[in-house]
Amino acid sequence: SMRVATLLSLFGSAIGIKGEDHMTLTAGGLLHDVGKMVIPHEVLNKAGKLDDKEFGVMKSHVTHTLEFLEKTQTLPKGVIIIAGEHHEKLDGTGYPFGLAGKELNQLARMATIIDVFSALTDRRVYKPPMSPEKALGIMGSMTGHLDQTLTLIFKEMLLDSVGDL
């Protein structure tokens, strides 16, 4: 979540998001998966593919996250939207709400891009890390899932930062 928050903060800066919206974006990245703390360890860290029942348990982390975040009255609504929509897909096949297209919040679309990038490039118990280049190639083909305009901006941001090193 710290990596997601950092990348979201950089991504937000790259497209000119400032002030409260930038803070909301960063906080949304930090808190988007807080509901995973109630997912059983054997599901969360399973070395193999999840079966349908286990996948259902894993998907419930979004609902658990929303339950936790909605108890905090002072939390910006955008943080809750990011947490609730980060597994939604442009084509409506995501979860938990099946939102599609314009129903998806722009900050949540950004969070989805970063969440997918992190999932692909992080080392997980069930897979080694993927190179950023390969991950970006895969993400570029996820037209029904990811906002491709924002994905291209994210890719350019990453390439610009590598050029600065």
Assess whether pLDDT exceeds 60 at residue 124.
yes
What is the number of other CB atoms lying within 10 angstroms of the CB of residue 105? 18
pLDDT value, residue 84: 97
pLDDT value of position 160:
81
Could you tell me which residues come within 8 angstroms of residue 123 by beta carbon, excluding any fewer than 6 positions away? 129
Tell me the pLDDT band of 48, cut-offs 50, 70 and 90. Answer: confident
> pLDDT tens-digit profile of 5-14?
999 999 999 9
pLDDT at 74: 93
pLDDT band (50, 70, 90) for residue 83: very high
Mean pLDDT across 24-50? 95
Residue 163's pLDDT is 52
State the alpha helices, DSSP H only, in 32-147: 41-44, 52-69, 77-85, 106-121, 132-140
**Within 10 A of 107 (CB to CB), how many other CB atoms are there?**
23
